[in-house]
Chain A
Amino acid sequence: MYVVFLALRYLRSRLVNFIAVGGVMVGVAVLIVVTGVMDGFREKVLEVLRGNLSDIVMTPMHAPGEPLPAYEEMDRRIRQDPRVETTSPQVEALVFYLYPTRHRGQLSVGAYSVQQMLAVGIDYEREKRVSKIADYLVAANDPARPFHSPRATTHYKEGSVMVSRTFAKRYLGLEREILLPESLLETDVGITFAYFDTQAEDPANASGGGLAATWNTYQLPISAVYDGQDTSLDAARIYFDKDVLRRLARIEDEYHRVRVKLKDPADAKQIKEDFKETFPFFFTKTWKDHRADYLRAVNNEKVLLAIVLSFIVLLGGFIILATLTLTVVEKTRDIGVLGALGATRGGIRALFVGNGLLIGIAGAILGVGLGALFQANVNGIKNFLADTMNVEIFPSDIYLFREIPTIWDWSTVAWIAGGSILMAFVAGLIPAIRAANMDPVRALRHE
């Protein structure tokens, strides 16, 4: 009985115990927040990647001149596999985007900058069934037909484009994304297409030292704005209607990629292997392959950070060790008295181990609470830092996302809390054993 009672009293009586509790608390909270953010980040990357791609992406690797199988034919053959739900074609072209140069937010008159962009041509009706494009639309003249522009029928006969929210923020001078997006539907963008004559006798020298190239610039109205949530991908990607892009870019191939939606995404890896056999003239990748290195790096970073931050918890352990060592010295006479009153060595040991455990348990509980609080408000804190001190702790151009994604995983939290309690136990054990081995007679004489 005295073990619990005295352990609580000893804990309560000294300020330094609360410092030790604080140390464990901070360590636990930091570990929880960091693993929560890293896991959240990883999940978000996967989610966004899948939303922008599809379960499987196939790229034809036919030799020049060799005819590509017609899309309807490919679609039919792929869908023969009962695990496949549907497919969608895509064409791609590199284009150049000309935009007015800005200096510190001010337009520089007459100066233009050029940015290379990936123009992606899609069949929207098919595309919305393999990716999340429909969910990502944030503004459109007609959400059912995002490439429909009233102006395209009157002035701009060539067609229209769908740009990303990130693109608009970066190039169209919209500092605050909140101002989006309907105003953009009145805007248009200048896209330059380059055409290379690969059939020229000597393309490299065709026109005196340059490639045999010509180009055309089109002013195209924005008919829709999307938010693919992957800022690095979004910034350099413009969607076109597939046939519009083929005409403007003078693409002969009917498609450059076939994107496949599966009934069960878990089959992706197996189907990839099967398709390599069935369609030897296609590169077949799963959606996960596309950012495999990135995902591995994120995971690696998480493990590394967890290891580094574990040292904070370990530091908490050392505080407990120091505190209890002091307590044992300070309570030497108490130890002698308890011995005289009939406490066993085991009891004395349990008393001080209990003291350490109480610190560990209190620190872990408070740490979980603090971690939860911090994690729930991490974006508020991020925005506060950005607004008041102009410190951007999560720049969206590096980390892809505007909001810091987090995950509360109870098993990770339990591991962290359990680990720190175990550490408190071990830290308490050393002074406890010392206390238990004390000779009560000498302890009684201790002044």
Chain B
Amino acid sequence: MSDPTREVGPKILLRARGVEKSYKVGGAKLEVLRGVDLDVREGEILAVLGKSGCGKSTLLHVLGWLDRADRGEIVYDGRDHAKLPASERAHLRNRTMGFVFQFYHLLGELTALENVLVPAMIRYRPGTFGAQKRELHDRAKALLAVVGLGHRMGHRPTQLSGGERQRVAIARSLMNQPRFLLCDEPTGNLDGRTAEDVRTLLWDLNARSEQTMIVVTHDAKMADQAHRTVHLVDGRICGGEEEAPLVQELEL
């Protein structure tokens, strides 16, 4: 167990400046993001708090290059990847980011183990995948063991509970050893006890391997335990650059 009070490193992994995003709903223009400035530091858990419908998910999608910002820049590793072609961004997303969704979004036809393997299947061609099949399977099994599902690898999503599905989704997000995780209300669909388990799991992962995470949530309890919390209000980040409490109580 690593030191829960460790300092977050100063290196900035992802930097967003002046990010704007609007949607057309019916005929009206809905401005969701109106100039978001945000830094994500390596190894930290950054909580983005906001009311539901305030654009938290949109922010996450834009930061993960799933969606293009109308304006502004998002710099990762010194480069603005919004300017890359779509297929390049897809490859980069596959290698550097892991997504955890509120509704788990597992593939229903696949077992837990196969779901965890999907990012590796996307990453490698059949030949390459076949060549390292054993290592990849071992890795996926290890990840399922980490999230506490080592005994349910052959189960389909429909045979798993909500909490278990989210654990599979977390294992999947870690498959390609991403630089950071983007978590969209990871506990939003879970009851109190299960939510606590998943939260603990995420924090433990961060503690173990300094996994950088951006957690978008409206759950104040979740934000309390993050290294840093920012608030998304009216499409802007405000009042949030204060340092979050660094002392966390982990119940592992």
Query: What is the interface of chain A, defined by CB distance below 8 A to chain B?
Result: 1-2, 4-6, 9-10, 12-13, 333-334, 336-347, 440-441, 444
Q: Knowing A1-B124, A441-B61, say if A341 contacts B94 (CB, 8 Å).
A: yes
Closest B residue to A334 by beta carbon equals B107
User: Which of B83-91, B208-216, B221-229, B234-242 touches A?
Assistant: B83-91
Shortest Cβ distance from A339 into B: residue: B66
Q: Which of B87, B105, B128 interacts with A333 by CB under 8 Å?
A: B105
List chain A residues, Cβ under 8 A from B119.
341-342
The answer, yes or no, to whether B93 is at the interface (CB within 8 Å) is: yes
State which of A4, A9, A341, A343 has its C-beta within 8 Å of the C-beta of B99: A341
* B166-205 interface code vs A (CB 8 A; 1 in, 0 out): 0000001000000000000000000000000000000000
Report yes or no: B105 in contact with A344, Cβ–Cβ below 8 A: no
Cross-chain contact A337 with B90 (CB below 8 angstroms): no
Given A1-B129, A441-B61, A441-B67, CB of A340 within 8 Å of CB of B124: no
Starting from the known contacts A339-B66, A340-B93, 18 additional A-B residue pairs (CB-CB under 8 Å) come to A1-B120, A1-B122, A1-B126, A2-B121, A10-B109, A13-B109, A336-B105, A337-B106, A341-B93, A341-B99, A341-B118, A342-B90, A342-B91, A342-B92, A342-B123, A343-B122, A345-B86, A345-B87
Which residues of B are found within 8 Å of A343, using beta-carbon distances?
A: 90, 94, 122
Contact A1 B109 (CB under 8 A): no
Provide the residues of chain A in CB contact with B95, threshold 8 Å.
342
With A340-B93, A341-B94, A342-B94 in contact, do A347 and B122 touch (Cβ < 8 Å)?
A: yes
- Cβ of B125 within 8 Å of any chain A Cβ, yes or no, is yes
Provide the residues of chain B in CB contact with A1, threshold 8 Å.
120-122, 124-126, 128-129
Residues in A with CB closer than 8 Å to B172 are 341
Contacts of B121 in A (CB 8 A): 1-2, 5
Within the assembled complex, what's the spacing in Å between the Cα atoms of A56 and B129? Answer: 68
**Docked-complex contact A9 and B122, CB < 8 angstroms:** no
A90–chain B nearest beta-carbon distance, Å: 71
Q: How far is the CA of A13 from the CA of B109 in the complex (A)?
A: 7
A-B contact pairs, 13 of them (CB 8 A): A1-B125, A9-B110, A333-B105, A334-B107, A337-B105, A339-B90, A341-B93, A341-B118, A341-B172, A342-B122, A441-B61, A444-B66, A444-B101
The yes or no answer to B163 lying at the interface (CB within 8 A) is no
Give Cα A328–Cα B58 distance, bound, in whole angstroms: 24
User: Which residues in B have their C-beta under 8 angstroms from that of A342?
Assistant: 90-95, 119, 122-123
| Closest 5 pairs between A and B when the two form their complex, measured CB to CB | A342-B94, A2-B121, A1-B121, A1-B129, A9-B109
Interface flags for B98-121 (1: CB within 8 Å of A; 0: not) read 010100011111100010001111
B40-71 interface (Cβ within 8 A of A): 61, 64, 66-67
In angstroms, Cα B92 to Cα A345, docked, is 14
Instruction: Flag if B110 contacts A4 (CB, 8 Å).
Output: no
Which of B64, B118, B172 gathers most chain A CB within 10 Å?
Answer: B118
Measured in the bound complex, the distance between the Cα atoms of B173 and A342 in whole Å is 11
Residues of A within 8 A of B101 (CB): 337, 340, 444
In the complex, how many angstroms separate the beta carbon of A303 from the nearest chain B beta carbon? 42
Task: Report the separation of the CA atoms of residues A12 and B108 in the bound assembly, to the nearest whole angstrom.
Answer: 13
Which residues of chain B come closer than 8 Å to A444, judged between CB atoms?
A: 66, 101, 105
Chain B residues near A5 (CB-CB < 8 A): 114, 121
Q: How many Å lie between the Cα of A342 and that of B126 in the bound state?
A: 16
In the complex, what's the smallest C-beta–C-beta distance from A432 to chain B, in angstroms? 16
Give the interface centre of A9, A344, A345, A440 by most chain B CB atoms within 10 Å.
A344
Contact between B118 and A340, CB atoms less than 8 A apart: no
Q: Give Cα A73 to B60, complex, Å.
A: 104
Q: Which residues of A contact B87 (CB under 8 A)?
A: 344-346
Q: Which of B64, B109, B125 has the most CB of A within 10 A?
A: B109
Residues in chain B near residue A336, CB distance under 8 A:
105
Let me know if B66 and A2 touch, CB within 8 A: no
A333 to chain B: which residues have CB within 8 Å?
A: 105
User: How far, in Å, is B20 (CB) from chain A's closest CB?
Assistant: 16
Q: How far is the CA of A13 from the CA of B107 in the complex (A)?
A: 12
B132: min CB distance to chain A, Å: 11
CA distance in complex: A347, B90 (Å): 10
Task: Decide if B66 touches A440 in the complex (CB within 8 Å).
Answer: yes
Binary CB contact string for chain B from 114 to 147 against chain A (1 if under 8 A, 0 otherwise): 1000111111111011000000000000000000
Task: Please report the C-alpha to C-alpha distance between residue A13 and residue B111 in the assembled complex, in whole angstroms.
Answer: 13
Is A341 a contact of B122 with CB atoms below 8 Å? yes
Look across to chain B and name the residue whose beta carbon is closest to the beta carbon of A343.
B122
Query: A337: which of B107, B124, B126 is its contact (CB, 8 Å)?
Result: B107
Q: Which residues of B contact A2 (CB under 8 A)?
A: 118, 121-122
B98 CB to closest chain A CB (Å) equals 9
Give chain A nearest CB distance to B154 CB in angstroms.
15
> A345 vs B66: C-alpha distance in the bound complex, in angstroms?
12
Compute how far the CA of A38 lies from the CA of B124 in the bound complex, rounded to whole angstroms.
50
Contact A4 B66 (CB under 8 A): no
Selected from B99, B106, B109, the residue in CB contact (under 8 A) with A340 is B99
Chain B residues near A340 (CB-CB < 8 A): 64, 66, 93, 99, 101, 105
- Of B67, B91, B121, B172, most buried by chain A (CB within 10 Å of CB) is B121
